[in-house]
Structure 1
Amino acid sequence: MSAIPVTIRAIGNSKGLVLPKTVLAQAGLEDVTDAELLVENGVILLRKAAPRVREGWADAAARLSAQGGDALVMGDFGNEGDEDLAW
């Protein structure tokens, strides 16, 4: 892809630019609302935000539980002599 000229505009105390829809589509960002912006060697990079650590785990665990998929793999077990312990 060849370079596309863009205009950097004043937006309050900051500056901004409009990214063409075709550019966003090529980068896989057309439906994304959160992205990561970084600068490397004088180049501005915009990319999809990395998923947050453990994002979606709670929902996945709830779905697994609802399907009965959260049973213990090894069953309930203890150590020999545990029944003699007094708490």
Structure 2
Amino acid sequence: MRTTLKRVGNSQGVIIPKPLLAQVGLERDVDIDVEDGAIVLRKPTRRPREGWASASRAIADANDDALVWPEFGNAGDSELTW
């Protein structure tokens, strides 16, 4: 099947027929890569943010969850006139 590139804002797009998408099981999100000079679309291997909760627990269990930025919030607020 041959199709043409279409202008989409500052990018280019391709209209993929629905039966083709159904045949390979693509629905909404896709992973896109370039392999051997070809653009390849695949079903995502993971859901977004998958594993974040367990990674956060592991960081906390290792006591490695100290603040990266120092506290700066309300220091000196008592000296302000509101």
Could you say whether these structures have the same fold, taking a TM-score greater than 0.5 normalized by the shorter chain as the test?
yes
Q: Distance in 1 between matches of 2:42 and 2:53?
A: 21
2:20 corresponding residue in structure 1: 23
Query: Sequence identity of aligned pairs in percent?
Result: 40
1:33 corresponding residue in structure 2: 28
Pick from 33, 37, 43: which aligns with 1:42? 37
Amino acid in structure 2 at the alignment position of 1:48: K
Bigger-Rg structure (1/2): 1
Q: Secondary structure at the match of 2:3?
A: coil
Runs of 5+ unmatched residues, structure 1: 58-87
Tell me the number of residue pairs that the alignment of Structure 1 and Structure 2 aligns: 52
Runs of 5+ unmatched residues, structure 2: 55-82
Instruction: List structure 1 runs of 4+ shifted beyond 4 angstroms.
Output: none
1:81 corresponding residue in structure 2: none
Cα displacement (A) at 1:50: 1.2
Post-superposition Cα deviations, 1:32-79, rounded to whole Å, max 9, x if no partner, equal 21110001010110010111443797xxxxxxxxxxxxxxxxxxxxxx
2:76 corresponding residue in structure 1: none
Computed over aligned residues only, the root mean square deviation of the Cα atoms, in angstroms, reads: 2.1
